[in-house]
């Protein structure tokens, strides 16, 4: 049963963050020079971002390297003070880091760990139980649920440093969600995990969202995470929001056309199919090619007339391709 929370909303208005970066020339002389003549420059990491999330929404937060995703999530969880603008998360101002706010949110960073390295994960869970003042009844109920959904049995009593990356990440997630937060900031929660582990982390996030009606902002460079979990996508580039809308709409934004898949009755060479479109791939009697968006019907009609086609389907290009187009190819595989 889903427990809807009264306010798991997120409101962001014109949020900004600039960092002052001190520059130092290399070497000993460089250190001395920068000691007497310190040079610095401003990095505008987030430049006026605004959006609203309804309670229970799961949103994919995408953008190339250095776009400002982590900086935004850190501001929303109160780890960084904004240079300008406003944020309200679950009814609180994040920068104040009030105890009631911290009880309602969590920030999971796939690259960082909160579990105590030399102790079993169970010990870290007990520390979190004390920090968040979780009652014994809720602790045991949540542990039962997480153990089942994440398959934690058998790994909770092992020293964290002896766990595999995937096992550790499952424990990290369990520790971060033990207090049943209502707003989840998940920054690359599946990074480095194999496909099966990614799938079980995804299933866990989906289950948690459905069970508790939690709001989730997710960054990932595995598009499968985003397409499996989020319907709404925010795209940030160079600190500014460049897209806020439906995943399906984003998929349709690519200028590169649609992907036509063919099931043939007679084999055809790639060279021959190249007359009908670009980026042709042939594998036995299966083939696919990209055709210009405006000419899909005409090209499909020609393919059906000219070739012995058993089946023809038209799809939007993979989201990775759209991202590569949106960002001009730079860091496309990371988004």
Applying CB under 6 A, which residues contact ligand ATP? 19, 21, 43, 45, 63, 65-71, 334
Smallest distance, ligand ATP to C-beta of residue 67, A:
4
Pairing of strands 39-53, 10-23: antiparallel
Smallest distance, ligand ATP to C-beta of residue 63, A:
5
- Number of Cβ atoms within 10 Å of the Cβ of 247: 17
Q: Which is nearer to ligand ATP, 72 or 182 (CB)?
A: 72
CA distance 255 to 10: 32
Q: Which is nearer to ligand ATP, 149 or 323 (CB)?
A: 323
Smallest distance, ligand ATP to C-beta of residue 173, A:
19
On whether the CB atoms of residues 292 and 281 are closer than 8 A, the answer is: no
Smallest distance, ligand ATP to C-beta of residue 71, A:
3
Smallest distance, ligand ATP to C-beta of residue 43, A:
5
Q: Which is nearer to ligand ATP, 12 or 155 (CB)?
A: 12
End-to-end CA, the chain:
34
Q: Contacts for 108-113 with beta carbons within 8 Å, 24 or more apart?
A: 108/172, 108/173, 108/176, 108/184, 108/185, 108/186, 108/187, 108/189, 109/70, 109/187, 109/188, 110/169, 110/187, 110/188, 110/189, 110/190, 110/191, 110/192, 111/187, 111/188, 111/191, 113/160, 113/168, 113/172
Q: Which is nearer to ligand ATP, 110 or 254 (CB)?
A: 110
Q: Which residues of 78-114 are buried (b: 16+ CB within 10 A; e: fewer)?
A: bbbebbebebbbbebebbeeeeebbbbbbbbbbeeee
Q: Which is nearer to ligand ATP, 88 or 334 (CB)?
A: 334
Q: Which is nearer to ligand ATP, 17 or 259 (CB)?
A: 17
Q: Which is nearer to ligand ATP, 62 or 155 (CB)?
A: 62
Smallest distance, ligand ATP to C-beta of residue 52, A:
21
Smallest distance, ligand ATP to C-beta of residue 294, A:
34
Residue from 157, 170, 227, 165 nearest 192 by CA: 165
């Amino acid at each position: 049963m889903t427990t809807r929370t009264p306010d798991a909303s997120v409101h962001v208005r014109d949020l900004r963050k600039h960092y002052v970066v001190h520059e130092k020339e290399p070497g000993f002389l460089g250190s001395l020079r920068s000691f007497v003549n310190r040079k610095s420059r401003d990095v505008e990491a987030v430049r006026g971002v605004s959006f609203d999330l309804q309670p229970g929404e799961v949103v994919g937060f995408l953008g190339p390297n250095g776009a400002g995703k982590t900086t935004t999530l850190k501001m929303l969880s109160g780890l960084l003070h904004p240079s300008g603008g406003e944020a309200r998360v679950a009814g609180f101002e994040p920068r104040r880091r009030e105890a009631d706010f911290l009880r309602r949110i969590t920030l999971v960073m796939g690259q960082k760990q909160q579990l105590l390295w030399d102790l079993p994960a169970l010990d870290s869970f007990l520390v979190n139980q004390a920090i968040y003042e979780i009652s014994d009844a809720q602790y045991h109920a949540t542990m039962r649920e997480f153990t089942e959904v994440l398959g934690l049995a058998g790994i909770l009593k092992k020293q964290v440093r002896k766990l595999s990356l995937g096992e550790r990440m499952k424990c990290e997630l369990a520790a971060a969600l033990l207090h049943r937060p209502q707003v989840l900031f998940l920054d690359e929660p599946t990074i480095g995990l194999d496909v099966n582990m990614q799938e079980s982390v995804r299933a866990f996030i989906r289950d948690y969202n459905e069970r508790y009606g939690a709001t989730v902002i997710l960054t990932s460079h595995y598009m499968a995470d985003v397409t499996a979990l989020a319907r709404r996508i925010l795209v940030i580039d160079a600190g500014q929001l460049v897209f806020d809308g439906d995943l399906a709409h984003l998929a349709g934004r690519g200028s590169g056309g649609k992907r036509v898949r063919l099931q043939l009755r007679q084999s055809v060479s790639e060279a021959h199919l190249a007359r009908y479109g670009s980026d042709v791939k042939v594998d036995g009697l299966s083939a696919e090619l990209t055709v210009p968006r405006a000419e899909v019907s005409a090209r499909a009609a020609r393919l059906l007339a000219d070739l012995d086609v058993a089946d023809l389907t038209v799809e939007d290009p993979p989201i990775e391709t759209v991202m590569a187009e949106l960002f001009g190819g730079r860091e496309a595989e990371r988004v």
